[in-house]
Structure 1
Amino acid sequence: MKASICIDKHFTAGTVDPRIFGSFVEHLGRAVYGGIYDPGNPLSDENGFRKDVLELIRQIDVPVVRYPGGNFVSAYHWEDGVGPKALRPNRLEPAWTAIETNEFGLNEFMDWTKAAHTSPMMAVNLGTRGAEDAKNLLEYCNIAGGTLYSDMRRSHGYEAPHNIRLWCLGNEMDGPWQMGHKTAGEYGRLAAETGRLMKMVDPGIELVACGSSNRKMPSFGYWEDQVLEECYDQVDYLSLHTYYGNPQDQSPDFLACSADMDAFISSVVSICDSVKARKRSKKQICLSFDEWNVWYHSKEQDKQLPRWIQAPPQLEDIYNFEDALLTGSMLITLLRHADRVKIACLAQLVNVIAPIMTDQNGAWVQSIFYPYMHVSRLGRGTVLQTLIQSPRYESQYGDVQFLDAVAVENGENGSLTIFAVNKNLSEDMDLTADLRQYSNYHVHRHIVMTHQDLKAANTREQPHQVFPENSGVSSLSNGILTSRLPSKSWNVIILKH
């Protein structure tokens, strides 16, 4: 099978905002307790932070982490998680039917972000609380001192403000599963008033309004339009969430899900620009795809878990090789929309639908870890418009190409990196690309991740079942790149001077 890509260094799709390589830590399952935070474990540091987990997170180079939810935030009292730990209450956590001890809270999270070399994306409760509480939380975090809540923070041992710049105005408020679920008009008005109040306190913050929880929501489109009609002037980003699964074991359809993600992004961009035109505004709303991943493996087993226990093993999907292929395609999709998608969060980071898993004896990485790490570390710079000529196949999302690909030029180190997925399950692909504008380059490395078994997965006992290798076959001659992409493979082709 033959395919080609065409790029021109003068035709760019957008500049990559590093925050599109973000992730998410929610008070859900073992994401916090037993995941990033495990006091008393010999693998943890003096703060209770798992050192093995921190090392793996640093390998990905995660620039931003969303916290504390997620559905969890819509009934959360942030005050429960600050101050002396002995005084913090146990609470029923209705979103995930668990017990929250509040041993880990806001200040612990801020300490953890420093250890993980990342920055916070903080969510406020617009479900059971509202604008006043959001203002108080912002004051606690960002005001130097001399006021009730800033002095409260100082009394808790944090003299300097946390200076959190990025804030989510609630979570999935369109969803009937959400505590404090609202109509589009109700939420839009609340987001506008909350945003206005928060920017009175700190004009330099950025705000993310809730878009639709997924593209299949009955209110999709109407929700975005009405929310932005109310809060366009107060917010900076609109959120998107989506998860994909393969419960019917239809792998070709599953690998085509990135086409749905692409259409979702394009649709929301159109709605944002429609509201902009209607308001005659000069302001452009960008997108925060702050929840995305594969999620379906654990849903049946989660139905068997008991209610009202601490840190139950919820949403612990064990990811296989085909999940990694779709993850790669979804990352390519985010890059192709780098002009408007400025923030994105792989949901989540540890144990809960996550690239990193732990037990009491160590941590290991799942198959999806590798494309996430590759794109985060090698996909920064300028995205080139990448035109693909590839054989196609019919899927539930229509006629899709076997090849997903995008090229990113890094002006700082002079590299050109091509990320590519061959979705053909039986045939290798001979890829060519006219790179005469890069004729003085050479193929530095061609990383390949492939496996004969789409269901192969990494485990604690066999952590390298799905693993990338520097075994790709690529060459650049007279400005023409030729590459062999194995059937069902993730590829990273790095070219340098």
Structure 2
Amino acid sequence: MALKASVIVDKDFVVGEVDKRIYGSFIEHLGRAVYNGIYEPGHGTADEQGLRGDVMGLVKELQVPIVRYPGGNFVSGYNWEDSVGPVAQRKRRLELAWRTIETNEFGFNEFVDWARKANTDVMMAVNLGTRGADAARNIVEYSNHPSGTYWSDLRRQHGYEQPHNIKVWCLGNEMDGPWQIGAKTAEEYGRAAVEAAKVMKWVDPTLELVACGSSNLNMATFPDWEATVLDHTYNHVEYLSMHQYYGNSDDDTRTFLARSVEMDDFIRTLVATCDFVKAKKRSKKTMYLSFDEWNVWYHSHAADAKREPWSIAPPQLEDVYTHEDALLVGCMLITLLKHADRIKMACLAQLVNVIAPIMTSNGGGAWRQTIFYPFLHASVYGRGKALVPLIQSPKYDTKTITDVPYLESIAVYNEEAGEVTVFAVNRSLEESLALEVDLRSFGKCRLIEHLVLQHEDLKAVNTENNPDNVKPHANGNATVDGLKISAQLAKASWNVIRVKVS
């Protein structure tokens, strides 16, 4: 007998407006993300700047609104001046975060050009590891000041008459991590971040700034780190960052698919910490969250451990994603939407080749990994208002996580388009799930489509030679009777049910 679950959604019960930047991504100078990823001169699809057209097409398909750059751990040793000006004069550097050679052939201005061609904005990070407020103010002046000063005129000499007008800036990266170049205590980082924030906004008062939260929820200093950092930066930044990756190295899929429950707890703890500091400071300002690194990451660990150092753009972190990975990515996307009132930016880490939805071969093709599809569906159809889901679902327990609902779901109401989209994952590995969605407040509805991502093999992957092995179909069985959706969700499946509302 099939499992049964129900959801009630009401157009007046709103979690929050979905900021499109929740569907952001990330390009770091790491592995083949830049070189032989978005940039490969001589490739058959490359343009006059060496930007791969096949990759560009897939990025545009995802409708990514913002991309974080240039790191990541890379940014804590980044001298931004090395990456601008005539390419022949740029310095090669030992890149200590990932132990490679950085040629700086592709730099800051080239990335801005790529972002414009990809129809996306830039989320720029500044180095607060080996550098600080001085370098931070200078790059903002170079990027955003119109003209008439040393750094703005240098940009113009480099061929960019108009300012880049980058508005979102990250104050360092994972500064609590001992692996980070220039790692700091919360007090040290809080002081460095607030001083950088001050001068950056003195150069351009329109900036939105992101302070570093904990590197992950398992850090020993979490969430004291956040409370201390915000004590310094609360009045100077708009966002606090979150990072979290999950893996299934124990091959325990039931627990793996439950990790988004932990992610939900992580977000709730961060919201509570932000609101504690808000109360402590008697502030009326709400601190928002930027979940600017999230994904599945574990497949490549063994291969990365064997890599020899000091090569140029070697394969690194090239996880080949499975069907079950796509299911967890779907659950994580739903979790982000459930907190649309506080999470206003997020970055799937990363975009190309490095733990990425898009893979390439050097000189060859580009293809969609399994995780491409839930991200695509959410980005395209998850725009509007996230609605509070009242879910009734049977649950299961794992060794470490209890009360895991078989159904993970949320609905998004796009009032302008007159559409409601229901995203749903059936976590059961053995049984289908009978789903009913009550749309009582919307009037008469009609079905647009029911997209399904499913595969009998949880470990199934896509490759260059078999790029469509795991691919969604539009043959879902959802029906609409007046105000109610009925559907049978296949075991271990990602579902997108779209309806037109009056």
Q: How does 1:60-459 map to 2 (within 5 A)?
A: 60-359=62-361, 360-395=363-398, 396-459=400-463
Q: CA separation in 2, counterparts of 1:155 and 1:406?
A: 50
Q: CA separation in 1, counterparts of 2:146 and 2:139?
A: 13
**Residue identity opposite 1:365 in structure 2:** R
Q: CA separation in 2, counterparts of 1:71 and 1:266?
A: 26
Q: CA separation in 2, counterparts of 1:460 and 1:28?
A: 21
Matching residue of 1:471: 475
Q: CA separation in 2, counterparts of 1:144 and 1:241?
A: 34
**Residue identity opposite 1:368 in structure 2:** I
Of 77-86 and 477-486, deviating more is 477-486
Q: CA separation in 1, counterparts of 2:142 and 2:168?
A: 15
Give deviations 1:377-419, integer Å, cap 9, x for gaps. Answer: 0000001100111010002222210000000000110100000
- Indicate the SS of the match to 1:265: helix
Give deviations 1:425-470, integer Å, cap 9, x for gaps. Answer: 0100000122232342101100001011000000000001110000
TM-score where L is the length of structure 1: 0.99
**Residue identity opposite 1:269 in structure 2:** V
Of 10-19 and 394-403, deviating more is 394-403
**Residue identity opposite 1:372 in structure 2:** F
User: How far did 1:167 drift?
Assistant: 0.1
Identical columns (%) = 58
**Residue identity opposite 2:297 in structure 1:** W
**Residue identity opposite 1:473 in structure 2:** N
- Indicate the SS of the match to 1:192: helix
**Residue identity opposite 1:452 in structure 2:** E
Matching residue of 2:38: 36
Q: CA separation in 1, counterparts of 2:470 and 2:304?
A: 25
Give deviations 1:16-49, integer Å, cap 9, x for gaps. Answer: 0000000000000000000000011122111100
Say if 2:123 and 2:170, in contact at 8 Å, map to a contact too. yes
Q: CA separation in 1, counterparts of 2:166 and 2:214?
A: 25
Give deviations 1:113-149, integer Å, cap 9, x for gaps. Answer: 0110000000000000000000000000000010010
Give deviations 1:233-267, integer Å, cap 9, x for gaps. Answer: 11100000000000010000000000011000000
Structure 1 unaligned regions, length at least 5: none
**Residue identity opposite 1:441 in structure 2:** C
**Residue identity opposite 2:215 in structure 1:** S
Say if 2:9 and 2:440, in contact at 8 Å, map to a contact too. no
Give deviations 1:325-366, integer Å, cap 9, x for gaps. Answer: 000000000000000000000000000000000012110010
Tell me which of 56, 59, 84 is aligned to 1:57.
59
- Indicate the SS of the match to 1:437: coil
Say if 2:445 and 2:482, in contact at 8 Å, map to a contact too. no
Say if 1:122 and 1:164, in contact at 8 Å, map to a contact too. yes
Structure 2 unaligned regions, length at least 5: none
Q: CA separation in 2, counterparts of 1:143 and 1:397?
A: 50
Q: CA separation in 1, counterparts of 2:435 and 2:44?
A: 49
Say if 2:25 and 2:348, in contact at 8 Å, map to a contact too. yes
Q: CA separation in 2, counterparts of 1:55 and 1:12?
A: 34
**Residue identity opposite 2:83 in structure 1:** G
